[in-house]
Amino acid sequence: MNIKQEIANCINYKLNDINFYDYIIESVSADKGDYSLPCFTFSKILRDNPTNIANNIMSTLNMGGIIERAEVVNGYLNFFLNKEYVAKSVLNNFKLSNFKSNEGAGKTVLIDYGSPNLAKFLHIGHLKTLIIGESLARLFSLYGYNVKRLNFIGDYGTPFGKIIGGMNKFGSLDEVKRLGNEALQNYYVKFNQAEAADPELSALARNIFKKIEDKDKEIYPIYQLIISIGLKEAKQMFNTLGVKFDDYRGEMYYNQFVGEVIKKLNSKHLLINSEDAKIVDLSSYDLTPAVIIKSDGTTLYITRDISAAIKRQQEYNFDKLIYVTDVAQVLHFKQLFKICELLGVKNAAGMEHVPYGRFSLPDGKISSRRGKQAVLLDLIEYAQNKAKEIIKDRTFSIEKPADVVNKVARAVLNYSVLKVERNKDCVFDMEKAFSFDGETAPYMQYTYTRLESILRKYQPTRALADYSCFDVDAFDLVKMINDFSSTLTISLQKRDTSIICKKLMDMCKTFNHFYTSIKILDDNPKTTKAKINLVKALKDTLSLGFNLVCIDSLKEM
């Protein structure tokens, strides 16, 4: 139901080509109606004061349908809606398909997120790219796009030479096979420490990596083992967080096509010499030069990103290619997109960077080399242990306790990322995040279990719903459910699903107030049916919304 459009249809006042729909807004408080029409803008056209204009418009209203009454206050025309009319229209016609869209039909969107460096532990910073990217992927899918989830893994460079050098110096291949990623990370840290005292080790790491590139018969199999160990652990963490990818090809794969990139850049006369390096001069586009080949002849990350963009277009024929990374990479992607445009990459205009603010724990900034507190694996385990604590005294007849633990832990981690506006820095407080009070994921999950419990207790009847019983909370829920489509649209446009999180939280708060102030299953089958229709619609809306923001719905908790 398009409430604003129905209100606009009730206005019979003609004012040039003005579409009153564009000017109707939600009222700031209930005493000022449900929706309002500010009439100040029209004063310039009619050369009259806003209050007179509002009164003149009010005199033309068709009353008795969606509008119960109207009043003029300080130049605003305030509309009070017929609650029974709106509730009946929204709830009797409610379908989950109302939230879906065919906007993206026939279009392919690639979303590049995650991108772990397999030479290092995944840290808490990876949580943000993973969950923002996954949430956007689900939202684009809802809008009918063919979505491909891409994980451009970091499997290239001297860090892998350091790991193998560290293994040779401090450990063994047998230890790697026995201890896996723990051993590899230990070698990496020890090699870095030794390198600080012995600079010659830097050359050793580069030489080992050169052997990796050359697929040396002794070194390359060890490198492949390192990658398989790192990727296996990363995939396990992705799975725990509810994230799965369609494509894990990374730097090593796309590096094989770098030669083609160099040829293309030369053919377009874009590559120039600068102090023994090869660059693309982007000064005419107000961008700093992009170094493509360093003075020592090696390529950079951007070179492989160009290679990946070209190959992805050839393979997927994308309409959009979205990169989800932190705000520090804004310049990198501006350079990348401009170079792809200059190279004539198809749909280069559809390449987009979605940056996000930094994510930290209360102790300070995150570093992948500084302490266990920053390691994602430890954070996941800690979250699961906290979830066990909060449900340890509860009994379950439907859900399995282990499943509840995993779903609560996952919800806490994922919601902690998405509840804050995407561009803002945020500090994640694990203790507060597990509370059933306040704006937390467990609070929302528990609200959902209340809805499930009510529906299990309800004995269906053939009674017709009587919506005249709806109070302010019930009517607010009806409007929130009805407006959820616009919430999704705005979130997609802004690439920010914190907007969805806020709306879901508002729904949960309003329902809990409604739940504690009124008896839902009463002795009147007609009013009970009305409230049950509201509960069903709310449950389905929350279920859809939870999925979009990577929170699992629970039947009991």
In this prediction, residues 36-43 reach a mean pLDDT of 95
Phi first, then psi: give them for residue 173, nearest 5 degrees.
-65, -35
Q: Strand pairing partners for 280?
A: 271, 290
Q: What is the pLDDT of residue 360?
A: 78
Query: What distance, in Å, lies between the first and last C-alpha atoms of the chain?
Result: 34
| Averaged pLDDT for residues 243-247 | 96
Structure confidence at residue 363 (pLDDT)? 64
Q: How far apart are CA 379 and CA 381, in angstroms?
A: 5
State how beta strands 351-356 and 35-38 pair: unpaired
pLDDT value, residue 460: 93
> Do 154 and 116 meet the contact criterion of CB atoms below 8 Å apart?
yes
Report whether pLDDT(422) > 70: yes
User: What average pLDDT does this structure show over 334-358?
Assistant: 97
Please report which confidence band the pLDDT of residue 324 belongs to, taking 50, 70 and 90 as the band edges.
very high
pLDDT tens digits, 201-212 = 999 999 999 999
Work out the average pLDDT over 308-312: 98
Percent of the chain with pLDDT over 70: 98
Mean pLDDT of the chain: 93
Q: Indicate if the pLDDT at residue 372 is higher than 60.
A: no
Confidence of residue 426 (pLDDT cuts 50, 70, 90): confident
Say yes or no to pLDDT of 371 above 80.
no
What CATH number matches the domain at 372-548, 3.90.79.10, 3.40.190.10, 1.10.730.10, 3.30.420.40? 1.10.730.10
DSSP, collapsed to helix, strand or coil, labels residue 219 as helix
Name the helix (H) or strand (E) containing 306.
helix 301-316
Q: What's the mean pLDDT in 416-433?
A: 87
What local confidence, expressed as pLDDT, does residue 365 receive? 45
By mean pLDDT, which of 100-114, 377-391, 449-463, 474-488 is the weakest?
377-391
Q: Is residue 364 scored above 90 in pLDDT?
A: no
Which pLDDT score is estimated for 184?
A: 93
Query: CATH number of the domain at 3-81, out of 3.10.20.600, 3.30.1360.70, 3.10.129.10, 3.30.300.30?
Result: 3.30.1360.70
Q: How confident is the model at residue 298 (pLDDT cuts 50, 70, 90)?
A: confident
**Which pLDDT does position 68 carry in this prediction?**
95
Residue 314 reports pLDDT greater than 80: yes
pLDDT score recorded for residue 374: 61
Stronger pLDDT, 373 or 180, i.e. the higher one? 180
Q: What is the pLDDT of residue 141?
A: 98
Going by C-alpha positions, the residue among 184, 188, 218, 230 that lies closest to residue 205 is: 188
**The two structure tokens encoding residue 481:** 């459910």
- What pTM did the predictor assign? 0.92
pLDDT, residue 366, reads 42
Q: Is the pLDDT of residue 167 over 90?
A: yes
Q: What is the pLDDT of residue 438?
A: 80
The token duo for 515 is: 């739940």
Residue 42 has what pLDDT?
95
Averaged over 236-259, what is the pLDDT?
95
* Count, residues in the chain: 557
Which 8-state DSSP code applies to residue 120?
Answer: S
Q: What is the pLDDT of residues 124-145, one digit of tens each?
A: 889 999 999 999 999 999 999 9
* All structural domains of the chain with their residue ranges: 3-81, 158-240, 372-548
Angle 19-20-22 (CA atoms, 0-180°, nearest 5)?
80
User: CB-based contacts of 155: which residues, under 8 Å, 6+ apart?
Assistant: 118, 227, 230, 231, 250, 251, 252
* pLDDT tier for residue 29 given thresholds of 50, 70 and 90: confident
Q: Stretch 515-521: mean pLDDT, rounded?
A: 94
The H or E element that residue 292 is part of is strand 290-293
DSSP 8-state symbol, 327: G
As a whole number, mean pLDDT of residues 329-346 equals: 97
Q: What pLDDT is recorded for position 553?
A: 97
Residue identified by tokens 């508002």 is 506
Does the pLDDT value for residue 406 go beyond 80? yes
Amino acid at 373: Q
For residues 451 and 515, give the distance between their C-alpha atoms in angstroms, rounded to a whole number: 10
Query: Looking at residue 495, what is its pLDDT?
Result: 98
